[in-house]
Amino acid sequence: MFKSIRWRFILIYFLLVFFAMSIVGIYIVHQLESIQLEVNRTNMEKRIQSILNSSEVLKTKEWDENVGEIKENIRSIQISYNENLYIILDDEQKTIIAGSAEDIIGKSAFNTNSINNYIFTKSLDGTTQYTVSPDQYEETGENTENPNLYHMSYPVKMDGNIKGYIYLTNNIEYIYDTVNESMEIMSQATMIALTITIFLGFILSSTITGPIKELTYKAKRMSQGDFDQKVNVKSNDEIGQLGTMFNFLIDELKTSMSSLQQEKSKMETTFKYMADGVLTVDIYGNIIHANPVAKNLLSLNDDEEKYDDVVNKINGNMLLANLESKGYHGTEILEKDGETYNVDYAPFMNNKNEIGGVIIVFKNITEQYKIDKLQKEFVANVSHELKTPITTIKSYTETLLDGAVEEKQTAEDFLSVINSETDRMSRLVSDLLKLSRMDYEQTKWKKEKLNLNKIVNQVAKKLVIQAQMKNVTMHVSQIPEDINVLFDRDGFEQILLNIAGNAIKYTPENGNVWIDANKVNENINLSVKDDGIGIPREDQARVFERFYRVDKARSRELGGTGLGLSIARQIAEAHDCALTINSELNKGTEIVITIPEFK
């Protein structure tokens, strides 16, 4: 409730009046009490002086010799209903010789509850002592029958010596009754003042919060796009001036919005019909604007999506942090759904002349990119790999044409070489076609549940003859029957045949090849290990590249195309698998295929 400025106003006025009335009330009551007590004390002193002046025996005669006369004199004095008077002789016992109460006459002043010992003792030195209540002498341990009695002990002197004491008590209960009544009156006045304060505070706060509420409502309508808002100006004070400025602001804003709307319409029309995709992103990753081409390219469904969340699905290199590290200026190549885009980006400035974000333009270069890529790959790879077999075939063919065909044994040998080189070119073309299909995602993988133990043993059987020809011993571990993987059967066999075939091919005679599998967390590590020639450390990072050979002459001699491991890696990546290699020169090589377990 107190979040409202209206109730804050009321609370402030309420507390102000409450504290003011409380302080004034307490001060007035305290002063009234002090004045009443002081008047009472003065009256008691005057009363004692009047008693003393009206009695000659008390003024001029010895008290111990005129006790009877003093008693008669005191009886003749009119005592008020709220007073008690005692005449105390200054003897050793401090005997009460006369007073308004007959039952204590003759007793010692120290042995009666009507006499306050603390007050009386203090007056023995010749000074007048008085008090309001026992609060002022609690440390003496004195008690009194009536705490509202005002005690006064007045020593009477003659020739500098004390003859006795006039002890007067006065009941001041009426004073406290008056003080209490005054406190009740002040409390009632405070309650009335607080009630009036709340009422007036409500009216006053309404005159302030009313226009503010109206301004708030109008501002809210403006935030929703309704600029036909005006406030009613009812005064010329600060609130009225605020309303006038608000109306002026709306008029100016409507003019500016009209101009901006025209410019926005021109820009949106331009962006909408552009053939290229245009995306505007601020430095916080919020997508400010995207034309239809960009929305379709990035699959934007919601304008509130974050740029990084959208682009990370396509190309992690184009995250906002990477663009920022390049000064929001550069060019990238983006591939999506078989399409290739040239992405140019540059920063734009905000109203403070600081970088406010980046404008990204997507230009479709799919056809051009495909043509360039095919040309480069074909020229660089195929021409290199076909050069040797074509040269060999040509040389042998020319020799045969020059007359060697007449020599049967020589002709057979030459034709055998030509046939071998032709097979090699056939394998090369076949592998290139496989890679080409995978590059352009034209290979349709038929993933199915495969039992790892069965599929590994099936592949191992296909390699038995190749291993026997080189006297290489294959060791296939007993893989648990409950391990399954989700894989394309032909693709899995291709990977294992390529990797295990390489292991046999590059292992010297009487060597060994081991195939083993084990579980690591949620994955299966399928290992193919040999004790062959090994791979130098500097070549291990490149063995999965196309046409890369560690020993080119030896690879060609063994019939390799340089594409086996590249094909294996692409098949593995298409099935969310990974290939890692561990090798040491002249000690052997281990390739591990990490496959997610299928449960």
CATH of the domain at 354: 3.30.450.20
191 falls within a domain: no
Over residues 530-553, the pLDDT tens digits come to 998 888 888 887 787 766 666 554
Over residues 238-277, the pLDDT tens digits come to 677 777 777 777 777 777 777 877 887 887 777 777 778 8
Q: Are residues 415 and 316 in the same domain?
A: no
Q: Which of the four pLDDT bands, split at 50, 70 and 90, describes residue 376?
A: low
CA dihedral 86, 87, 91, 93 (to 10 degrees): -20
Other Cβ atoms less than 10 A from the Cβ of 5: the count is 13
Higher pLDDT, 418 or 587: 587
Over residues 433-446, the pLDDT tens digits come to 666 666 656 567 88
Q: Are residues 140 and 248 in the same domain?
A: no
Per-residue pLDDT at 512 exceeds 90: yes
Q: Are residues 345 and 392 in the same domain?
A: no
Q: Are residues 316 and 246 in the same domain?
A: no
- Of the three residues 119, 148, 177, the one that is the final residue of a domain is 177
Per-residue pLDDT at 138 exceeds 50: no
**Residue 347 carries which side chain, given as an amino acid letter?**
P
pLDDT of residue 140: 44
Residue whose entry in the numeric block shows the structure tokens 């109203």: 351
**Alpha-carbon span 347 to 345, nearest angstrom:** 7
86 falls within a domain: yes
Q: Are residues 20 and 142 in the same domain?
A: yes
pLDDT of residue 132: 61
184 falls within a domain: no
Q: Are residues 341 and 421 in the same domain?
A: no
Lowest mean pLDDT among 182-191, 285-294, 408-417: 408-417
**Residue 537 carries which side chain, given as an amino acid letter?**
R
Q: Which two tokens stand for residue 76?
A: 């003749």
Q: Which of the four pLDDT bands, split at 50, 70 and 90, describes residue 338?
A: confident
Q: Which two tokens stand for residue 292?
A: 């239809």
Cα four-point dihedral sign 162, 166, 169, 170? negative
Other Cβ atoms less than 10 A from the Cβ of 228: the count is 8
Other Cβ atoms less than 10 A from the Cβ of 484: the count is 17
Q: Which two tokens stand for residue 84?
A: 């008690």
Nearest to 571 by CA among 445, 450, 459: 445
pLDDT of residue 83: 84
334 falls within a domain: yes
Q: Are residues 299 and 313 in the same domain?
A: yes
Over residues 410-420, the pLDDT tens digits come to 777 777 777 76
What's the predicted TM-score (pTM) here? 0.37
Q: Are residues 533 and 452 in the same domain?
A: yes
Q: Are residues 258 and 282 in the same domain?
A: no
Q: Are residues 335 and 419 in the same domain?
A: no
Per-residue pLDDT at 469 exceeds 80: yes
**Alpha-carbon span 514 to 573, nearest angstrom:** 23
- Of the three residues 364, 384, 405, the one that is the final residue of a domain is 364
Average pLDDT over every residue of 140-161: 72
Q: Are residues 250 and 287 in the same domain?
A: no
Q: Which of the four pLDDT bands, split at 50, 70 and 90, describes residue 128?
A: confident
123 falls within a domain: yes
Could you give the number of structural domains in the chain?
Answer: 5
Per-residue pLDDT at 115 exceeds 70: yes
pLDDT of residue 381: 54
- Of the three residues 155, 177, 199, the one that is the final residue of a domain is 177
E runs forming strands in 252-388 = 277-282, 287-290, 330-336, 339-349, 355-364
Cross-strand pairs, 286: 306
CATH number at residue 548: 3.30.565.10
Length of the chain: 599
Q: Are residues 320 and 379 in the same domain?
A: no
Q: Which domain holds residue 409?
A: 369-439
pLDDT of residue 383: 63
CATH number at residue 392: 1.10.287.130
pLDDT of residue 423: 67
Q: Which two tokens stand for residue 366?
A: 């799919």
Per-residue pLDDT at 139 exceeds 70: no
Cα separations in angstroms, 508 against 214, 310, 474, 530, 538? 93, 52, 13, 10, 22
Residue burial 544-577, b: 16+ Cβ < 10 Å; e: rest: bebbebbeeeebbeeebbbbbbbbbbbbbebbeb
Average pLDDT over every residue of 284-312: 80
188 falls within a domain: no
Q: What are phi and psi for residue 65, nearest 5 degrees?
A: -95, -10
Is there a contact between 487 and 448 (Cβ–Cβ < 8 Å)?
Answer: yes
389 falls within a domain: yes
Average pLDDT over every residue of 199-215: 74
Q: Which two tokens stand for residue 159?
A: 């020739």
132 falls within a domain: yes
